[in-house]
């Protein structure tokens, strides 16, 4: 058994953490109980793992201790929401102090004003904000605001892109190849739970296809209220936009009087001023979530005063918006504390570690002649086990392997002390991590690929 020393905390991490697979594992027992009271034994499909998931007991820094008492380095960070890792001392202290004063009121508090001020100060083009409780809600509100502001009803989104649980943005989220339609004009595909009327209101765009996007936006301009885009879409494998692609979207939307909605629920973590700011671009509306809640449920929509006026109750509002826990002081306090810790220097260090990890993964995979490529930017990364060119959702799907490969790799990595998504080798970094943690990860990925005898 290989031993790794965590230089930051002076403790030893074993290379085999497999108690969760034993016959008397608490995780096995808990999953059995969960199956009786929850469909599939969970409340979100993203954590499902066959034959059952590991149950978490606690977290500290970049590590999670499971129900069996074994510790692993966390490279999911609750799907990118924990940029400071688990139980950050400053956030925990601030939240505990806030809880003692009350957790929710049918009135505003100073805490929501403070977080809004911090975000307005940081994100170019955002003059006013409105809080909600999830990224899904933020996207929903942005779409409704766009319709109210423009008087048009349709939206455009990218094939394969994930924007949360809202009918219109779930169109063609995971379409099967036999329903794709033409590459230059993707079909609007829905799942059975969505109204058959929805696809008629959604134009599906192909990622990184300049000519097709220009044509589709132009053809539908008179009905398009907004184009929704994530500048580094997780649903498309963190495949970066080609140079000039986001600029094209900005130019076309301005030309046709269409709002550009930036979904930065996840990608805000790429930069102190947000992902779009790195290109010098200003979307009309920005959707936020994840890291701005400091580990608590959160969402927000921001934009110019004129667009955000559709929510203003003092001037004939066009979008009604309530929410029992909107801007609750616990979330607002945790979010403001997190943003204060995330200085420009903190972003630079975290993004530098992301560069280091992607470089080390690329080198290791090349050294072992494993056809692959590593995508992502800043503190986000993904490994794609193919040498084929990846430019959009379709190329990603056609080069993807069966879910069983991802499941096997996930279990191999868990056994080597790494928490990763069951959906593939990808995730995010947190500030408590060190290069030693990243080196452990690269070594674990190498050994896991060899263990499953991976062949492209």
End-to-end Cα, the chain, rounded Å: 29
Strands of 144-275, DSSP E: 154-158, 181-182, 185-186, 202-205, 224-229, 259-263
Which residues is 5 bridged to in the sheet? 12
Q: Is the dihedral of CA 379, 385, 391, 392 positive or negative?
A: negative
47, part of any domain: yes
Same domain, 181 and 39: no
Q: Which residues contact 243 (CB under 8 A, 6 or more apart)?
A: none
pLDDT per residue as tens digits for the range 312-323: 999 888 999 999
pLDDT per residue as tens digits for the range 201-226: 999 999 999 999 999 999 999 999 99
Mean pLDDT rounded to a whole number for the chain: 94
pLDDT at residue 9 is higher than 80: no
Identify the band that residue 454 occupies on the pLDDT scale cut at 50, 70 and 90.
Answer: low
The CATH number of the domain holding residue 400 is 3.90.1150.10
Q: Which of 111, 127, 177, 86 is nearest to 430 (CA)?
A: 86
pLDDT at residue 407 is higher than 90: no
- Whole-angstrom Cα distance, residue 208 to residue 394? 11
pLDDT per residue as tens digits for the range 253-300: 999 999 999 999 999 999 999 999 998 999 999 999 999 999 999 999
395, part of any domain: yes
> In terms of residue numbers, what domain contains 415?
3-83+343-451
pLDDT at residue 229 is higher than 80: yes
Identify the band that residue 453 occupies on the pLDDT scale cut at 50, 70 and 90.
Answer: confident
In this prediction the pTM is 0.94
Region of poorest pLDDT, from 7-11, 66-70, 170-174: 7-11
pLDDT at residue 184 is higher than 90: yes
Which of 20, 52, 162, 166 is labelled catalytic?
162
Same domain, 369 and 236: no
Same domain, 425 and 443: yes
The CATH number of the domain holding residue 216 is 3.40.640.10
* Mean local confidence (pLDDT), 316-339: 96
Same domain, 162 and 299: yes
Domain edge (last residue) among 291, 322, 341: 341
Among this protein's residues, is 446 annotated catalytic? Answer: no
- Whole-angstrom Cα distance, residue 387 to residue 413? 22
Same domain, 347 and 237: no
The pLDDT of residue 317: 85
Identify the band that residue 15 occupies on the pLDDT scale cut at 50, 70 and 90.
Answer: low
The pLDDT of residue 16: 85
The pLDDT of residue 6: 46
* Contact (Cβ atoms closer than 8 angstroms) between residue 286 and residue 229: no
72, part of any domain: yes
Number of folded domains in the chain?
2
The pLDDT of residue 455: 54
Q: State what percent of residues in the chain have pLDDT above 70.
A: 95
105, part of any domain: yes
Q: Which of 278, 212, 204 is nearest to 247 (CA)?
A: 278
Same domain, 155 and 229: yes
- Whole-angstrom Cα distance, residue 421 to residue 427? 7
Same domain, 132 and 31: no
Which residues is 74 bridged to in the sheet? 419
Which of 74, 290, 392, 437 is labelled catalytic?
290
456, part of any domain: no
* Mean local confidence (pLDDT), 326-350: 98
434, part of any domain: yes
Same domain, 336 and 431: no
Domain edge (last residue) among 288, 307, 341: 341
- For residue 263, the tally of other CB atoms under 10 A from its CB is 29
- Whole-angstrom Cα distance, residue 5 to residue 244? 44
Question: Would you state the structure tokens that stand for residue 107, as one six-digit string?
Answer: 């009135």
Identify the band that residue 404 occupies on the pLDDT scale cut at 50, 70 and 90.
Answer: confident
Q: Which of 288, 256, 252, 270 is nearest to 125 (CA)?
A: 288
Which of 263, 284, 392, 437 is labelled catalytic?
263
The pLDDT of residue 422: 87
Same domain, 111 and 40: no
Among this protein's residues, is 154 annotated catalytic? Answer: no
Identify the band that residue 146 occupies on the pLDDT scale cut at 50, 70 and 90.
Answer: very high
Same domain, 101 and 229: yes
Same domain, 337 and 347: no
pLDDT at residue 1 is higher than 70: no
Among this protein's residues, is 251 annotated catalytic? Answer: no
* Contact (Cβ atoms closer than 8 angstroms) between residue 3 and residue 14: yes
Rounded to 10 deg, the angle between the 435-451 and 344-367 helix axes is: 30
């Amino acid at each position: 058994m290989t031993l790794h020393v965590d230089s930051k905390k002076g403790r030893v991490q074993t290379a085999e953490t497999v108690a969760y697979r034993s016959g008397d594992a608490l995780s096995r027992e808990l999953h059995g109980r969960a199956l009786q009271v929850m469909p599939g034994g969970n409340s979100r499909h993203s954590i499902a793992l066959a034959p059952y998931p590991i149950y978490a007991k606690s977290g500290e820094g970049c590590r999670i201790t499971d129900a069996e008492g074994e510790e692993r380095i966390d490279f999911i960070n609750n799907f990118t929401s924990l940029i400071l890792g688990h139980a950050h001392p400053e956030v925990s202290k601030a939240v505990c102090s806030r809880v003692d004063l009350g957790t929710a009121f049918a009135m505003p508090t100073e805490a929501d004003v403070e977080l809004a001020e911090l975000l307005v100060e940081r994100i170019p083009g955002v003059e006013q904000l409105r809080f909600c409780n999830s990224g899904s809600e933020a996207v929903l509100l942005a779409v409704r605001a766009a319709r109210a502001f423009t008087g048009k009803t349709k939206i455009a989104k990218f094939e394969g892109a994930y924007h949360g649980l809202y009918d219109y943005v779930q169109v063609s989220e995971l379409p099967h190849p036999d329903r794709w339609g033409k590459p230059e004009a993707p079909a609007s595909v829905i799942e059975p739970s969505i109204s058959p009327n929805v696809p008629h209101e959604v134009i599906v765009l192909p990622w990184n296809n300049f000519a097709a996007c220009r044509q589709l936006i132009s053809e539908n301009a008179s009905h398009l209220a907004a184009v929704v885009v994530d500048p580094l879409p997780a649903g498309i494998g963190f495949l970066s936009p080609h140079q000039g692609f986001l600029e094209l979207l900005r130019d076309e939307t301005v030309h046709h009087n269409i709002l550009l909605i930036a979904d930065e629920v996840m990608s805000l973590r790429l930069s102190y001023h947000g992902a779009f700011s790195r290109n010098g671009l200003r979307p009309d509306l920005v959707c936020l979530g994840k890291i701005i809640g400091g580990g608590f449920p959160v969402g927000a929509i921001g934009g110019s005063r004129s667009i955000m006026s559709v929510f203003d109750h003092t001037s004939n509002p066009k979008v009604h918006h309530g929410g029992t826990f909107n801007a609750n002081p616990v979330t607002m306090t945790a979010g403001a504390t997190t943003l204060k810790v995330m200085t420009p220097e903190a972003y630079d260090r975290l993004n530098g570690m992301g560069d280091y990890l992607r470089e080390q993964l690329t080198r290791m995979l090349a050294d072992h002649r494993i056809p692959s490529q590593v995508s992502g930017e800043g503190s986000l990364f993904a490994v794609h086990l193919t040498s084929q060119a990846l430019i959009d959702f379709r190329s990603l799907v056609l080069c993807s392997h069966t879910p069983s490969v991802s499941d096997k790799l996930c279990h191999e990595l868990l056994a080597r002390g790494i928490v990763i998504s069951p959906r593939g080798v990808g995730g995010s970094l947190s500030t408590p991590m060190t290069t030693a943690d990243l080196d452990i990860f690269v070594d674990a990925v190498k050994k896991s690929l060899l263990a499953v005898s991976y062949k492209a």
